[in-house]
Every structure is written in C-alpha cells, then in structure tokens.
Amino acid sequence: MLMRGTAYQLALLFVFAVFAEELHAAETFKDCAGCPVMAVIAPASFEMGSPPSAVEGNGDEGPVHRVTFAKAFAVGIYEVTRGEFTRFVADTGYDTGNECQVVRDEHWQVVPGRSWKNPGFRQTDAEPVVCVSWLDATKYIEWLSARAGRKFRLLSESEWEYLAVTGSAGHALSPKTANYKAADAWQYTAPVGSFGPDALGLYDVLGNVWEWLQDCYFGSYEGTPADGSARTVGCTGKRSVRGGSYGDTAELLRPTYRLRGPEGGRYVTLGFRLARNLD
C-alpha cells in the first residue's frame, strides 16, 4: 500500500507540475464569459516602501521591508469597468446610494445625485467604474465569485506596489503612458486599454483611477505581513488606496505613494481591480 500510495502521490505531483507550467506560460486567461481578463504573476520578492530621505509624502512609506510572494497569483489586466459593474447591479438590484465625493474649491465634498451611473461626466461601459466604495467593491466581488466558481478578491497593498514598481520599470511616466492631470487626450476617465501595457502586461496600474485595496490603512509598515498578504487585523474603518487618477499630478502616481479612504466612501476618482489566488 505504501508503494501504491507513493506512486499515486507522484502522479498527482506530476499532473500538478504540468498544469502549473502551462498556467504560468499563459499570458492571460478568463475564468468565465463575464469574468475579467487575468494575468499570472509569478512568485517574487522585492523591497517595499521608501526611506524617509527618498520622498516627500505623508511619512507612511516605511520602514522599507522585504516582501516575498511564495506562490503565483492572478490579477485583472484592467480596472473593473462601468459595464461590468452595470451587470452586477442589474442582476442583484444592489443599491450603491445616490451621492459621491467630488473636488470643489480644492476640497472633497459630498454631492447628492452623483453616483457610478452619474459621476458628473459622460462615461462609456469601457471606462473604469468610479463612485464605488470599498464595501461596494466587496459586494461585487462576492457576486462575481459566486457566478464564476472562483474566489476573487482585491489586491493586497504589497501585491499592488510590486506590480506598480515592477511594471513601471523602464517605462517613463508621460501623458502617452498614463492618464493623469497632464496634457493628454482625456479630461476624465479613459477606456481601459487606451494606454499601452506595462512590463507585466497590465493597464492603468498608475493613473486613470485610484484603486481600493484589501488592507486596512496604517501610517506605518510596522507589522505588515512579509508574505504579501493583506493586513486586515485592527482596522479602524479606513482602507488603503493606491495608483493616482486622471485628476492627479505626476507625483501622486509614484509607485510607493499611499492614500486611504473610509470603507463606505465613494469618490469620483476611485475604482478597483480584481485579483485571486492560484491554488
């Protein structure tokens, strides 16, 4: 029995190894007809954060620490679009409210009547959805996961920073490579894929809209998991936000720049991107 069991285990390992090799070789894949296009991100290790002397920011980009992703994971090559979110609302009747925060007189203000359906500017279904809260994003993820039979999630903050740092390597930020407050062709959101892919084959990691992340926001990386998972213990109601948007200047699109927002907050420059584990 021991020999037969060992042979069986070896056979399973062989099948898994072949499957894993094919999966890592694929540039992109989809789990279902209405699912996002996903890219496989290989296991990796990197130094997360910035030393205090290197940047002018909120003082929340340190301490610098090593993060290691022991397993591959998958990430949506695009931010979730208005069209994708429309299907969720139509299928579930989910109520996303009828107000959203916009910048007026250089201050964020809650404006009644604004929503993902009416952010204050015209959008096509190919543009990233905005005016969705972190809570809205998690409801969308629950719905899609049930439909697809796959457990989608938001990116962890360390995963996002790895993608931003690695993907932007060798790609100079300019109005031709990202949608931000510059002399580009888009005053507001641009259709996903309007700019070229980064070094990892992803689009709009920097620019277009900010992205909600899974992590609770803390003003320091002390206590951040070193395995790349999200920091979710001790939440105070705020979640990390990264990436910059069409309304921001270039310095806010630095890969290590951090912001945060209340879980229930909806902003005209903020959307989300999906990820999932590859078990």
Give the right CATH number for 31-277 from 3.90.1580.10, 3.30.70.100, 3.90.45.10, 1.10.10.10: 3.90.1580.10
Q: What residue has token string 């990386």?
A: 221
Sort strands 238-242 and 210-216 into parallel, antiparallel or unpaired.
antiparallel
- Asked whether residue 15 carries a pLDDT value surpassing 90, the answer given is no
> Would you give the distance in Å from CA 10 to the centre of its chain?
37
Model confidence over 100-143: pLDDT tens digits? Answer: 999 988 899 999 999 999 999 999 999 999 999 999 999 999 99
Question: Residue 241 is inside which H or E element, if any?
Answer: strand 238-242
To the nearest 10 degrees (0 to 180), the angle between helices 134-148 and 82-92 is 80
* Residues 224, 201: Cα–Cα separation, whole Å: 27
Q: Which of 1-10, 16-25, 221-230 has the lowest mean pLDDT?
A: 1-10
Q: Are 158 and 228 in contact (CB under 8 A)?
A: yes
Q: Is 196 exposed, middle or buried (0-12, 13-18, 19+ CB in 10 A)?
A: exposed
* Residues 260, 185: Cα–Cα separation, whole Å: 28
Tokens of 271: 């959307």
Q: Are 216 and 234 in contact (CB under 8 A)?
A: yes
Q: Are 246 and 102 in contact (CB under 8 A)?
A: no
Mean pLDDT for 33-55 is 90
Model confidence over 144-199: pLDDT tens digits? Answer: 999 999 999 999 999 999 999 999 998 899 999 999 999 888 999 999 999 999 99
| DSSP class per residue in 183-201 | SSS-SS---TTSS---TTS
For residue 183, the model assigns a pLDDT of 82
For residue 50, the model assigns a pLDDT of 92
| DSSP class per residue in 120-137 | SS---TTSBP-S--HHHH
End-to-end CA distance of the chain: 28
Rounded to 5 degrees, φ, ψ at 218 are -130, 150
For residue 93, the model assigns a pLDDT of 97
Beta bridge partners of 108: 103
Model confidence over 68-89: pLDDT tens digits? Answer: 999 999 999 999 999 999 999 9
The CA angle 112-115-121, to the nearest 5 degrees, is 100
> 48-60 burial by CB neighbour count: b if 16+ within 10 A, else e?
bbbeeeebebeeb
3-state SS, residue 215:
strand
For residue 13, the model assigns a pLDDT of 33
For residue 56, the model assigns a pLDDT of 60
For residue 25, the model assigns a pLDDT of 34
